[in-house]
A and B are shown apart, each in its own frame.
Chain A
Amino acid sequence: MLKIRKRDEPWKWGALVVFLGALLFSLVLSALLLKGQGKDALYGLTVLWQGSFGNVWSLEDVLLKAIPLFLCSLGVAVAFRMQIWNIGAEGQFALGAIGATWMALAFPGLPRFVLLPLMFVMAFILGGVWALIPAVLRLKLRVNEIISTLMLNYIAILLLDFLVFGVWKDPASYGFPMTPEFTEGAIIPGIAGSRVHWGIVFCVVVGIGLWAFMRFTRLGFELTASGEGARVARYAKIRYGMLVLLVMGLSGGFAGWAGCVETSAVLNRLQPSLMVGYGYTAIVVAWLARLEPLNIAFASFLLAALRVGVENMQLKLQIPAAFGTIMEGIILLTVLAGQFFLTYKLVRKPRQE
């Protein structure tokens, strides 16, 4: 018989072992899934690997996808740290894109060094405000933020549809729902002629900024302390309500930035194909990274690689992109189950009692 025992001291490297174990487990399960669909599983996994890391082109693609994931996950993680369940990154991302597009369409003639900052500011504001709605509802009326942020995702996506099918539609788009292409001043340029754009440098700055804020400021400390719950925070004389607003505003603002970067640098216009679920994958990333900024960079890169690899499989094995979503779900569930072993261990119990 096995018995559950609490660990006396934390398991060094345990988190990494659990993470890698989950990755391996999900690969095995996905191989089985491919086999069930009558595909060559081993070939499939090779295609997955080559698609992600095989050549410069795909590595560029991974970095491009890691950028919005990183920004969204940072936002999600900041809120999760305080035990505020912001599931609304997807909607806040959409609002950021809307804000950026708004500026890009309103002031097409402005030079880049004026227009881009305007877009970033508006994206942060709209994304942040979208996240403040559930924050205020939670503080004033104790409305469950999990469901309100989720509902706001659906509403945001429909709002985006409304705009690109209606008032913002390009008359020259032959009926396709999209805005006109942005002017040069509204586009984040690539670095040294590559496809990877300056958004990646922006990510590094934001990431370090957030880390420093959490580490060295009083507010950042209060934020982590409030993660223990509203009551503890109140005992420590922390203005819990203010912190919730701050955290949700930041959280939504980061997701908004992701929407701005993606619209400006990658699509160069607003269109519904912008919404590919970065906001939901961000939840997976944040949790895998155990809410630490540096880990988030690593996990975003990994999950971006998974997305790019699956695109390659899609092409070569004729499977739907949803395959990547399945893997994300499995990885997350396995990590959740595996984290049990960080606190507990199973010991053999002698037969006699």
Chain B
Amino acid sequence: MWDFLIPLFAATVQSGTPILYATLGEMMTEKGGVLNLGVEGIMAVSALAAFWASFVTGSPWLGFLAGGFAGMVMASLHAFVCVSCLGNQVVSGLALTILGGGLTHFLGVPYVGLAAPGFDPFNFPLLSQIPFLGDIFFKHDMLVYVSFVIPVLFWFFFRRTSLGLHVAATGEMPAAAAAAGLKPIRLRYLAVIAGGFLVGLGGAYLSLAYTHLWTNGLSGGRGWIAVALVIFAFWRPGRAVVGAYLFGGVMAFQLRLQAAGTHLPSSLLLMLPYLLTILVLILSAWRGRRIDAPAALGTNIEPEG
């Protein structure tokens, strides 16, 4: 029993990690009042950028940063269109996903099937020796350990720093924030671009740790799952962790079933994460916590005059 469960839980943590980065990234963006549906496209582009940088420089850490940077660049397009030009946030995000998918298929051609240096799992000193928990949480790659810290930093940023409170204020009432002497436009840019950075780290995880290879379609719907998880998590980092591992679990379980050679057709197994996303949305809607959404989410700040 444990021989089956412990590797499954360990795989859960690994496949939940990119979703966790992306969910926190989208949550950061939405906290500032901007909906970014481009997560799927951003993840794809940053996965390619991370792969490319690691391939060229030989340093996976540079790759990781390049992934985050690519996420920032993509997100700043969204920020420009929505925050400065008052474009529709839903459509702009979709456009970003379309663009991102196209860019990776176009620019990634020379790298398909190639391998780049990535992150390998290692036993975290001391902690990996804890029974059960050590096997599940502390025999991974470095990026998983980084992902343990980020939700805490996220929480600290929004609860304990004034900048975090200012960002949240523009997500709630931009007009009031402006009246209080804050700069809502600037804060929104910050939220969108910082969020893009986090999403980009999630994309980088896919090409540098999840696989060390470049293939097309690496994001495989994870970006959309992340958007759904932000709702499920009621815009709280702690619940984002729970949600991300829930999906990681289903993905790991589904892969294991396929590898074990069940009689179920693989196309039906592959539906599981998408069905679960809908289920998760139903559950979170059923609990009726819509009040937790930033009040100004999705509405642009109209310039006066």
Contact = CB atoms under 8 A, between A and B. Distances in A.
A295 to B, nearest CB: 16
Contact of B281 (A143, A154, A161, A325): A143
B145 interface: no
B4 interface: no
A158 B270 contact: yes
A68 to B, nearest CB: 17
A340 B271 contact: no
B114 interface: no
Interface residues of A, number: 51
Nearest to A3: B305
Interface string A6-48: 1000000000000000000000000001000000000000000
Contacts of A262: none
A326 B99 contact: yes
A280 B106 CA distance: 18
B270 to A, nearest CB: 5
Contact of A326 (B81, B90, B106, B227): B106
A343 B88 CA distance: 13
Interface residues of B, dominant DSSP: helix
Interface in B255-269: 265, 267-268
A322 interface: yes
Given A326-B102, A332-B98, A143 B285 contact: yes
Interface in A147-200: 147-148, 150-152, 154-155, 158-159, 161-162, 165-166
A320 B103 CA distance: 10
Nearest to B101: A325
B267 A158 contact: yes
Nearest to A145: B281
B257 to A, nearest CB: 15
A141 interface: yes
Nearest to B94: A283
Interface string B154-187: 0000000000000000000000000000000000
Contacts of B281: 137, 143-144, 147-148
Nearest to A332: B95
B265 A154 contact: no
Which interface class (under 10, 10 to 19, 20 to 34, 35 or more) fits B? 35 or more
A336 B274 contact: no
B96 A329 contact: yes
Interface residues of A, dominant DSSP: helix
B285 A340 contact: no
Interface in B126-166: none
A151 B267 contact: no
B305 A166 contact: no
Nearest to A318: B109
A287 B91 contact: yes
B224 A151 contact: yes
A141 B285 contact: yes
B267 A324 contact: no
A340 B86 contact: yes
Nearest to B103: A326
B123 interface: no
Nearest to A349: B305
A337 B87 contact: yes
Given A319-B106, A320-B106, 19 more contacts: A6-B305, A143-B281, A143-B285, A147-B281, A148-B281, A151-B221, A151-B224, A152-B278, A154-B221, A154-B274, A159-B271, A322-B103, A322-B106, A325-B105, A328-B102, A329-B103, A330-B99, A333-B87, A336-B95
Interface of A: 3-6, 33, 85, 87, 137, 141-144, 146-148, 150-152, 154-155, 158-159, 161-162, 165-166, 280, 283-284, 287, 319-330, 332-333, 336-340, 343-344
16 contacts: A85-B90, A137-B281, A143-B282, A147-B224, A150-B224, A151-B274, A155-B274, A158-B268, A319-B106, A322-B101, A326-B102, A329-B41, A330-B99, A333-B95, A333-B99, A336-B81
